[in-house]
Structure 1
Amino acid sequence: MKEFNITVVNEGLKEALQQKIDSKTKPVGALGRLEDIALRVGLIQQRLDPELKNPLLAVFAGDHGIAAQGIVNAYPQEVTAQMVLNMVSGGAAINVFCNSHNLSAKIIDAGVAAELPAREQLLNNKIAFGTENYLEQPAMSAAQCWEAIETGAMLVDQWAEEGTNIIGFGEMGIGNTSSAAIITSLITGASIEACTGKGTGLDETGISEKVRILTKAIRAHGDQEDPVTILQTFGGFEIAMMVGGMLQAAEHRMVILVDGFIATAAFMLACEWYPDIREYGIFAHQSEVRGHQIQLEYLKAKPLLQLDMRLGEGTGAAMAYPVVQSAVNFLNDMASFEDAGVSEGGPS
């Protein structure tokens, strides 16, 4: 079983970074959250002049056994495979946003319940043709869970070798909001009702039925606290790969852009397992999905954007990337008072 070597973010450069931020030609604090981001990236990279290299958005796709019956999802399970092929063809929202912001997009088949055609843009790392139905048994065997975790880590290793130092995580998988709701409830202690939303489009009746089914699933497996056990029992292959990928990204001291509800569920599991990962994460946006606010409050996280999005795919992370890029650019390129010959302000 793989262990991760995650270094605590050293705060030794904090004073020097803050001084550099405050010396720019602006009132102290006038760039608001951008100043916080610049400080965070500088501390992660342990540099006064941080840089973002080979930015990448990884979309992990997998199917969920519970979704095969259509009892927790508005769309049929085959939509997962169809949307993966749409992404591979460049037609999805995530493709548009990555192209807009010069992000490289990687699409990974973690466990789609279909035989997908070979494509250069598609990484075939399929663990199985979807997970098992966790109403009846754990979603994954222990071996499958660890294989998915280790595969996610292996992929991030490859991207790190290619020079990537900032990575966003996204997903695709019909039924994965159900997994994320259970994970969120078990970790935070919030009720499953509070954590369960409409997913891809359930109405209120559908949500009530979804809550009933997820409550039954939780009761079937009893109380669980260990993050890997929770992941194995209720997760998806795409979620497990994100957990492994996020942890490996932190080991490489990458900036981690955390997308919405499902990606945050993966990050929560990673934090429960290795708490030191927390300071490597930047939270992209406040999803409209019910339960995401619970996750963010539990993690004491303040997302960058609020756009009422709930698409997944890593779209929030892609939209947040230029904000992070702008923060790094002002730190490096904006003139200081001394450089510009501008008088600094003081008490009036």
Structure 2
Amino acid sequence: MGFSEVLRPVSRFNSFKRTQIILQHLRMSSHTDSEPEVLLERKGCAGVITLNRPKALNSLNISMIRQIYLQLKKWEEEPETSLIIMKGAGGKAFCAGGDVKAIAEAGKAKEKWIQDFFKEEYTLNRAIGTYQKPYVSFIHGITMGGGVGVSVHGDFRVATEKTLFAMPETALGLFPDVGGGYFLPRLPGKLGYFLGLTGFRLKGRDVQKGGVATHFVDSDKLTMLEEDLLALKSPSKENVAEVLDSYHKKCEVNQDKPFVLEEHMNNINSWFSASTVEQIIKHLEDDGSPFALEQLKIMKKMSPASLKISLRQLIEGSSKNLTEVLIMEYRLSQACLRGHDFYEGVRAILVDKDQNPKWKPAKLEEVTDEFVNECFKSLGSNDLKF
């Protein structure tokens, strides 16, 4: 509602009255938007975190990251809180990622908070990965990027038939961050390399069969599951696992269906074991099967620089711990903010939506080793510290 609509019906009032009405209208509109972006509640034995921006698919901004981090630290110290449950409001998404458009705008404008965003997001990812109490995420609905970061490092991830998982960053001129360099290489075979480089989407039961989720439950059972978890008296990891296992076992949806990539896994394992992106591309070309050509087409749309940075991130991450991976990823995030492709990817995919990014460098062979090495270089005193 613009000011013109507010003014039209009240033009016969004096200006004082008119001002009052406008102020009241602004208060009303800000009031309807003033629902907290994240709900932090103590229920039974648990601290329950609800990401509460359903219109924005619960994407994370810096204030949500700060609130969640501080509350998690507090609950970690409290003896009466023995479990954390993380979920998303609205039923459509658990969390579709970080607020990438806002990050790109701020990065272009060289705003200081942008460095803080990645620092604080990765600090939260690490806090979840090292948390001293059982941490359960209900990854119901869209779970991408930053949403993966606030779930996958916890002990338990419960997928439903509505879960849609992806790490689509290479299409945006980024890399699969939020600890992707840690968890992706640890998925079965070379599955994580494939998911990280192509942005391939896993849905429903496949999210659990691929090893991203630990359990699979019908979405209409989530409320009951939560109640059963909240009813536990100072639960241990084992107690929580028992409850989750019992729900998982009862859920028969797609139980006997093979993993969506099962027939391709041998090929994926051999194609993506190459140490360069050029070799992976060659493997796909040489194979020539419909599935290989589909992946080839997808990878050729991605930022060449992102592909090279991401492959190296995954190879290096496979032998680093989570803390070391996040320090490496922070360096990469700053390299992307200094570069061209991230802003161009956001423009093409999210802003103008012409789906036609002009990457620089435009070809894989133009992305030099020097360029990639530069992205991984220490930032000295600006490195991420925990």
TM-score, length-scaled by structure 1: 0.30
Q: Greater helix share, 1 or 2?
A: 2
TM-score, length-scaled by structure 2: 0.28
The structure having more radius of gyration, on CA atoms, is 2
